[in-house]
Amino acid sequence: MTSSGSPQSVQMEARRLQFDRYVLDLDRGCLVLDGSEIVLRPKTFAVLQHLVQNSSRLVSKEELFAAVWPNLIVTDDALVQSIGDLRRALGDHGPRLIRTVPRRGYRLECDVTSAAPGAQGPADTPPAAASVEAPAHVPSGLAHGEAAAPPSRRLRVAVVVSTAMAFLIAATMLWLHVAMGWKLPFLAGQAGQPAATKPATAEKAAIAILPFLNQSNNPEQDYFADGLTQDIINALGRFGELTVLSWNAVAPYKGKAPSPGQIAQRLSVQYQVEGSVLRSSDRVRVIVQLVNANGRVLWSSRYDEALADLFTLQGKITAEIVGALAIRVSMSEQQRVSAKPAETLESYDYVLRARPALQRPTRANNAEARALLRRAVQIDPASAAAYSALAETYYIAASMGWAESPREFLGRAEEMANKALSLEPSQTRAHVTLGRIHLFHDRYDQAIAELDRAIQDNPNDGYAVAGRGNVLMWLGRTDAAIEALERAQRIDPKLNAIDRFALSLAYYLNRRYSLAVEQAELNLRENSGANFSRIVLAASYAQLDRANDATLVADTIRRLDPAFDPNSFGIKFVRPTDLQHLRDGLRKAGLMTETGVPPAGS
């Protein structure tokens, strides 16, 4: 493991550890290459430290969880993201230095030695950010009947839950009919063109808007507090200088109380917004505060406004948070955030009541949401938000197979989304819905145009960013696709089934088979019915010369889907070389013969 001294002595005594061309400086909390510091997130640094201190040894996932996330229940997402961050930070050396042992863990494949003081390290560079242990932070309360200040935020005891997961799993039924040639009783697709990439978010300040507390005595008012939180997330997401985590990322903290330091570590954010809301018959009282990872209050305010002025209040809260963060704000961003929606408060209330169904759809609640949104449109025919959400209900129904005529429902979704945009051109989710519909039909140029517009309006809409990554992946622009999908995963740590499948397949196309395995396995753990990920998994195993694992997965595919046709899987690829690469993996996995037909007896 080391060239001098025992592994244990290096681990216990050295504070500067050299591996390959890199130096890990534990005292200063930084990674150095040729005198330049490589910035790592705190948890990513901790993962690297544990791997370096245990080099050439298989380190199990359980061991890493215990070392890096002690006393916290976390999903594999957090570890997979940190490993991915490390490999990107190590550049071309990443896949060689950090090896994945499928279903078991990771191994650092190089010797580690004790580095001389000052070796390869910049003398005047300040230490990189390390894990922050924040003091307890408990804002004071108010008298009975007022909105209480939020308590110290939310001990993380639950895994991140993707509130839109059921909808997006179901979308595979619709989309993969054309994407992968799976047989469904409806719809087919066309062709398209590529477009430009988007910048990464590494240098942006990251912020989490935690679920506002409902201070009323009526739990049925939770939808109002959640809706206010979501609208502030969406409003802040429009500022390009910020990385704003999605509602999916923060929803598990609802009703929980970890410290700001714990949240900063779990979500890798520098700032957090806490709030509470009390709604009465004609007034709304809100308390909001902005804190840093140490729990220091950077800004706070309380509001007591007429309910009729709710939209003005949302804009005021957003503007004051942005002011406290002192970020650069463009004129167009100011105009977007200051623009007030045209809908009436009564119509808006119906939109808020429908949102939970859009986030966790079932056949029944999707139909109920559509009825609520139709009522919203009846009350206010100029409500762009209602039309946009109505479009989503039709798209969900078609995707889930709940529509008697899926083609008709997709047409209605497109009609409603276009109506929303005619009323409010910056209605982000309407652009996303149109983009996803165009993607299904292989209208790539139109899909990119809609998704680009959505991202222009809200750079932090993870669903839009991931949709763009999907399009780029099928077009053969693999590096740009991976960049987009990884950015989407940063915004929304728990990617939906389609988008995680796309990330896995993009890694495969990029010959990063170990990463393809990680994403495919993670998708299957979260969605056991995601058989399309098993196909990528089998091909990736085969390319890694893990013949036994590939055979086991291939047998499972044939058992679960006896009608699987390897010739139809992947026909959405625009580049013939991508399809050939995929089929090479299928042949090695025993899912396809050299003549292109399934093996005999399969």
Does residue 217 have a pLDDT over 70?
Answer: yes
- The confidence band for 406, taking pLDDT boundaries of 50, 70 and 90, is confident
Residue pair 277/224 in contact by the 8 Å Cβ criterion? yes
Same domain assignment for residues 214 and 329 = yes
Written as six digits, the tokens of 317 are 């809260």
- In angstroms, the Cα distances linking 81 to 13, 43, 88, 90 are 30, 10, 11, 14
For residues 224-253, average pLDDT: 88
In this prediction, residue 3 carries a pLDDT of 40
In this prediction, residue 335 carries a pLDDT of 54
Written as six digits, the tokens of 161 are 């839950």
239 within a domain of the structure (yes/no): yes
Does residue 453 have a pLDDT over 50?
Answer: yes
Q: Are strands 30-33 and 112-114 parallel, antiparallel or unpaired?
A: unpaired
In this prediction, residue 124 carries a pLDDT of 35
Does residue 178 have a pLDDT over 50?
Answer: no
Residues 187 and 177: their CA atoms lie apart, in Å, by 8
Burial of 103 from C-beta contacts in 10 A (0-12 / 13-18 / 19+): exposed
In this prediction, residue 530 carries a pLDDT of 78
Does residue 462 have a pLDDT over 80?
Answer: yes
In this prediction, residue 73 carries a pLDDT of 58
In this prediction, residue 340 carries a pLDDT of 54
Residue pair 367/374 in contact by the 8 Å Cβ criterion? no
131 or 424, which is more confident:
424
Least confident of 289-293, 304-308, 418-422, 595-599: 595-599
In this prediction, residue 38 carries a pLDDT of 84
Collect all residues with Cβ–Cβ distance below 8 Å to 265 and sequence separation of at least 6.
42, 43, 131, 132
247 within a domain of the structure (yes/no): yes
List the end-to-end C-alpha distance of the chain, in Å, as a whole number: 46
Residue ending a domain, choose from 339, 363, 381:
339
Q: What residues form DSSP beta bridges with 30?
A: 25
Same domain assignment for residues 220 and 102 = no
Collect all residues with Cβ–Cβ distance below 8 Å to 466 and sequence separation of at least 6.
484, 485, 488, 489, 492, 495, 496, 499, 502
389 within a domain of the structure (yes/no): no
Collect all residues with Cβ–Cβ distance below 8 Å to 154 and sequence separation of at least 6.
210, 253, 254, 255, 256, 257, 258, 263
Q: Which of 279, 309, 330 is nearest to 456 (CA)?
A: 330
Does residue 484 have a pLDDT over 80?
Answer: yes
Average pLDDT, the chain: 79
Does residue 126 have a pLDDT over 90?
Answer: no
Least confident of 297-301, 450-454, 472-476: 297-301
Virtual CA dihedral for 310, 314, 316, 319, nearest 10 degrees? -170
Least confident of 30-34, 106-110, 198-202, 440-444: 198-202
Residues 211 and 232: their CA atoms lie apart, in Å, by 10
In this prediction, residue 503 carries a pLDDT of 96
In this prediction, residue 332 carries a pLDDT of 55
In this prediction, residue 237 carries a pLDDT of 86
Collect all residues with Cβ–Cβ distance below 8 Å to 585 and sequence separation of at least 6.
508, 538, 539, 540, 542, 543
369 within a domain of the structure (yes/no): no
Does residue 5 have a pLDDT over 70?
Answer: no
453 within a domain of the structure (yes/no): no
For residues 549-554, average pLDDT: 95
- Which tens digits make up the pLDDT trace of 360-374? 777 888 899 999 999
Residues 558 and 556: their CA atoms lie apart, in Å, by 5
In this prediction, residue 600 carries a pLDDT of 55
- Which tens digits make up the pLDDT trace of 283-322? 999 999 999 888 888 888 889 988 888 888 888 888 888 8
- The confidence band for 343, taking pLDDT boundaries of 50, 70 and 90, is low
Count of the separate structural domains present in the chain: 2
Residues 387 and 394: their CA atoms lie apart, in Å, by 11
Does residue 259 have a pLDDT over 70?
Answer: yes
Q: What residues form DSSP beta bridges with 19?
A: 22, 112
Does residue 508 have a pLDDT over 50?
Answer: yes
Residue ending a domain, choose from 283, 306, 339:
339
In this prediction, residue 177 carries a pLDDT of 45
Q: What percent of the chain has pLDDT over 90?
A: 33
3-state secondary structure of 531: helix
Phi, psi of 74 (to 5 degrees): -130, 160
Instruction: Specify the DSSP class assigned to residue 57.
Output: S
In this prediction, residue 483 carries a pLDDT of 94
Residue 284: which CATH number? 3.40.50.10070
- The confidence band for 71, taking pLDDT boundaries of 50, 70 and 90, is low
509 within a domain of the structure (yes/no): no
In this prediction, residue 358 carries a pLDDT of 78
In this prediction, residue 438 carries a pLDDT of 92
Phi, psi of 332 (to 5 degrees): -65, -35
Same domain assignment for residues 217 and 334 = yes
- In angstroms, the Cα distances linking 25 to 14, 120, 366, 370 are 9, 10, 53, 56
For the range 83-90, what are the long-range contacts, defined as Cβ-Cβ under 8 Å and sequence gap of 24 or more? 83/47, 83/518, 84/486, 84/515, 85/40, 85/41, 85/44, 86/40, 86/44, 86/47, 86/48, 87/515, 89/31, 89/38, 89/40, 89/44, 90/22
For residues 98-108, average pLDDT: 85
173 within a domain of the structure (yes/no): no
C-alpha atoms less than 13 angstroms from C-alpha of 378 in its C-beta half-sphere: 7
Does residue 181 have a pLDDT over 70?
Answer: no
Residue 74: which CATH number? 1.10.10.10
- The confidence band for 77, taking pLDDT boundaries of 50, 70 and 90, is low
Written as six digits, the tokens of 50 are 């544990």
C-alpha atoms less than 13 angstroms from C-alpha of 464 in its C-beta half-sphere: 26
Does residue 170 have a pLDDT over 80?
Answer: no
Written as six digits, the tokens of 233 are 């997330």
Residue ending a domain, choose from 307, 339, 371:
339
In this prediction, residue 203 carries a pLDDT of 53
Structural domain that includes position 331: 210-339
Does residue 34 have a pLDDT over 70?
Answer: yes
Q: How far is CA 266 from the centre of its chain?
A: 14
Highest mean pLDDT among 111-125, 142-156, 278-292, 463-477: 463-477
226 within a domain of the structure (yes/no): yes
Exposure string for 508-535, b = 16+ CB within 10 A, e = fewer? bbbebbbbbbbbbbbbbebbeebbbbbb
User: How crowded is residue 130: how many other Cβ atoms within 10 Å of its Cβ?
Assistant: 14
